[in-house]
A and B are shown apart, each in its own frame.
Chain A
Amino acid sequence: MSATKLLEIIDLQTQFQTEEGTVKAPIDLLRLPEKEMRPLRDKDLAMIFQDPMSSLNPVFTCGSQVLEAIQLHQRLDRTRARQLVLDLFARVQLPDPERIYAAYPHQISGGQKQRVMIAMAMSCQPQVLIADEPTTALDVTVQKAILDLMSDLKREMEAAIVFITHDLGVIADIADRVVVMYQGRIVEQGPVRDIFLRPQHAYTKSLLACRPPVDQALRRLPVVRDFIDWREVDGQRTMVERAVSVKQTLAQHQLTEAEVEARRTRIQSGEPLLRVVDLRTWFPKGRAWWGRPQEFVKAVDGVSFEVYPGETMGLVGESGCGKTTLGRSILRLNRTRSGEVWYRGKNLLSLNATELKDLRKEVQIIFQDPYSSLNPRMTIGKAIEEPLLVHGILGKAVERRERVLELLATVDLRPEHYQRYPHEFSGGQRQRICIARALALNPKFIICDESVSALAVSVQAQVLNLLLELREKYQLTYIFISHDLSVVKFMSDRMIVMNGGKIEEMGWPEDIYQKPQQAYTRRLIEAIPRGLIRDDGF
């Protein structure tokens, strides 16, 4: 991850090949002055960034941005350069290159934007292509398509690719060699097969283990701490590796079928806590000139399901399938068009403002982005305290403080964090803060909307474990929304696959995973990067 700055600082002190196959004298890029560095950028060393949504300039057309890169490094007249851009767009399999050329970034999808970025990076046949988490912000299906494309290009262009990611599953699909970094240092490197089959370092093992497996049910996910221990030795924190294998650890956490069965019968015996009947949320698209909506985007279109107390209902689908809107509609954060949402015998959609406020105590939501869902000018103590104030619970400031400290402890944060501001925390810690805030009112029902999607795999495992612990401790009921099928499968008792605002499939996670009924579900499952580990069964 520290390699993000690679192109600015470039600590690649390597020699690289020219097109003819001769070897250039090694250049120490670190000592290269900025002026001489510039011509190398994009021409010899190109970069693809993590977030295609923000990596393209919104005010220029996609075509002109690639054109700019070409004209900067190659002496080509405008028509020929333009033709080259169109060829590149065709090569990265963009549909209708002419249209994309003239389109602004906001007019095309995330996957298409990333293809434009790749086209830009390839435009001058670079020697080295640095891809910084290029698929992390994308759906699994789109991710698969992009990875396939990059593998093809790698062969075709004979460029070296440095692929930076937190997800070992992706690495398995694309890399030849792997370098594992931990706390700023390289802890292990070698051919991808060796890394997956015979991981040496404890951190590598933990990375391999902490991705939710799709083929087994676990009580909790292994985390880094299962493999690495930090001890105080002579006043210094030292890393102690535990001698356990990935397989052992996974086996240790496995749920037996009997346990799974018991849990299911227990949950299904109760009355449903939440019953959604034929819910529709449509957003106006086109409007007539007098302002009345003419067309609609049917974000949620006739969805019905039930959630039992203590159950976790998984909700999975690609972006734009309506899963987030569904979650928000249940909480009345969106205006719904029709349908009913019954919670404990009350239809939430017909509650008045006071009743709704009472309801908000019981039903909470944890949002996707822990960076933007916390007010940067509020200490986290105040942020967690706020819901208590709003609902007038615990009149005395001392009591409230006490409660906040208790909540901090619940999510494994320390009391001294009370006075700190959000920017002082890592992504995983911020998501814990959001969880603590959601828990402040003792809710019974929590909607987790992509709550771990912005986190690295190892951190994601910790947060998922925390959510499971809290579920048992406080008898919580979850709706767990994610685009990541493996995460949803790990978390859920039952799951729903959504597509185009409708329910594609609903059922037990392993049934859906092993016997998908719909082509759409099959496509989602096939796109999950799974690496080599399970196949070889080490």
Chain B
Amino acid sequence: MLVYLLRKLAYGSLVLVLVVVIISSIIYLAPVDPARLTFGQRSDVATVEAKRSTLGLDEPLYRQLGRYLNDISPLSFHEASPANRDKYHYHPLWRSDNGVLVLKKPYLRESYQKGRLVSEMLAEAVPRTFLLALTAIGLALVIGLLLGVLAAWRPNSWFDQLAVSLSVIGISVPSYVSAMVLALVFGYWLHDYTGLEVQGSVYGLDDFGDTRYFWANLLLPALALGVRPVAIITQLTRSAMLDVLSEDFVRTARAKGLSPAVVVIKHALRNALNPVVTAVSGWFAGLLAGAFFVENVFSFNGLGQLTVNALLNYDIPVVLGAVLFTAVIFVVINVLVDVLYGWLDPRVRVGA
């Protein structure tokens, strides 16, 4: 198991390096000058050139890449200078004449536009997005599993037909449409009854200047994000359950004299969960990467909005930081899902 996890980690790091290389190349090839974008309309050539040089944008791609990889690697090599020490907060491991080998937290650089540390900006946006994604997937799981199991319980009944039709609609509606409809209906028309806001963040300041959580502001965006996962989970659960319910061991369970509820939930559902886990994990990772449309509609300043704004401004460090973070999320979730598969189904347990 340990060997397995280590191997996964090694593959994961390789994926991260590839992500950096690919994204950097795309940005490098684009006919835009990030240095110029930092200044706005009026700026003279010399200033832009100077900026370009401080940002290292005038170097060839491989040099830029090498330096970036060195910056994000926890084990890296830097010039030993007080400036670098303040910048990287490193622990020196081994010194030589022209530098120092260090252990440090990955350094994601500063935003071109805002001058803030990218890691700080991420730290601000990620918890919001995480909360949103978790709520959305949680809602989707509860509703989707329930609908799927009930639909499979009596296939072709009115309930089954209803659940299937609803899920088809759910799959076809883009998230920005459901977001706007939900915002309009519950946040605007029905605002007096629901008390929900069209826009708003989960964190806010109250009248005394303290941080407060506005949990209600989570509900509508989470619902909007959850619509499609609900539909997909319903369909997957339903079809997997229908397969499993015709298996011999379900017959055995019934022959034992177990009640239908125990047969379905204990014996059948756990066997039907694998495709659901696959789908949910993909969606969850996707949601963690940020849901731009929904965040935009509800003015929810999460990772999605951060990424898209950075892209519009060619704020390369932010883009790279956000994409890297997303890649890490995907790698981690994949490993978790593999472990989860083994828990659900002992036949695929690693090393078993």
Contacts and interface: CB of A to CB of B under 8 A. Distances in A.
Contact of A51 (B248, B267, B344, B352): B248
Contact of A55 (B252, B259, B345): B252
Interface stretch (A42-50, A178-186, A527-535): A42-50
Contact of A120 (B7, B256, B270, B271): B256
A56 interface: yes
B258 interface: yes
B257 A104 contact: no
A214 B256 CA distance: 40
B4 to A, nearest CB: 9
A40 B345 contact: no
A233 interface: no
B249 A68 contact: no
Contact of B270 (A8, A59, A104): A59
Interface in A356-412: none
B270 A72 contact: no
B248 A42 contact: no
Given A7-B255, A42-B257, A289-B7, A54 B346 contact: no
A58 interface: yes
A51 B252 CA distance: 11
Interface in A40-98: 40-43, 46-47, 49, 51, 54-60, 68-69, 72-73
A57 B253 contact: yes
Contacts of A289: 3, 7
Nearest to A103: B346
Contacts, number: 67
B251 interface: yes
Contact of A72 (B257, B271, B345): B257
B254 A41 contact: yes
B252 A68 contact: no
Contacts of B345: 58-59
Contacts of A51: 248
Given A59-B345, A289-B3, A54 B257 contact: no
B347 interface: yes
A104 B347 contact: yes
A41 B249 CA distance: 15
Given A55-B248, A56-B252, A72 B346 contact: no
Contacts of A57: 249, 252-253, 267, 271
Nearest to A58: B347
Contact of A47 (B3, B7, B255): B255
A41 B256 contact: yes
A289 B351 CA distance: 11
Contacts of B254: 7-8, 41
B347 A41 contact: no
B247 interface: yes
Contact of B257 (A43, A106, A107): A43
A289 B258 CA distance: 44
A511 B344 CA distance: 52
A117 B252 contact: yes
Interface residues of A, number: 29
B10 to A, nearest CB: 10
Contacts of B3: 289
Contacts of A38: 257-259
A115 to B, nearest CB: 14
Nearest to A5: B251
Nearest to B252: A55
A47 B258 CA distance: 14
Contacts of B249: 54-58
A415 interface: no
A117 B253 CA distance: 11
Interface string A282-322: 00000001000000000000000000000000000000000
Contacts of A73: 257
A39 B254 CA distance: 11
A457 B287 CA distance: 57
Contacts of B270: 59
A106 B247 contact: no
Nearest to B273: A59
Interface string B134-156: 00000000000000000000000
B79 to A, nearest CB: 36
A67 B105 CA distance: 52
A60 B347 CA distance: 10
A64 to B, nearest CB: 10
A42 B255 contact: yes
Nearest to A46: B255
A57 B244 CA distance: 10
A68 B256 contact: yes
Contacts of A58: 249, 271, 345-347
B271 A68 contact: no
A405 B89 CA distance: 81
A39 to B, nearest CB: 6
A428 B259 CA distance: 37
B248 A68 contact: no
A383 B294 CA distance: 50
A107 B352 CA distance: 9
Interface string B313-352: 0000000000000000000000000000000111100001
A169 to B, nearest CB: 25
Interface string B159-170: 000000000000
Interface string B255-275: 111110000000100110000
Contacts of A107: 352
Interface string B265-290: 00100110000000000000000000
A125 to B, nearest CB: 14
A43 B270 CA distance: 26
B252 A72 contact: no
A59 B342 CA distance: 10
B257 A40 contact: yes
Interface string A13-43: 0000000000000000000000000111111
Contact of B347 (A40, A55, A72, A106): A106
A137 to B, nearest CB: 11
A49 B252 contact: yes
Interface string A142-171: 000000000000000000000000000000
A69 B263 CA distance: 12
Contacts of B259: 38
Nearest to A289: B3
Contacts of A7: 254-255
Contact of B248 (A43, A54, A59, A104): A54
Given A56-B249, A58-B271, 9 more contacts: A41-B254, A42-B256, A49-B251, A55-B248, A56-B252, A59-B271, A60-B267, A107-B352, A289-B3
9 contacts: A41-B255, A42-B255, A49-B252, A54-B247, A55-B251, A57-B267, A58-B249, A72-B258, A120-B252
- The list of the 3 closest CB pairs from A to B, nearest first, reads A41-B257, A54-B248, A57-B249
Interface of B: 3, 7, 247-249, 251-259, 267, 270-271, 344-347, 352
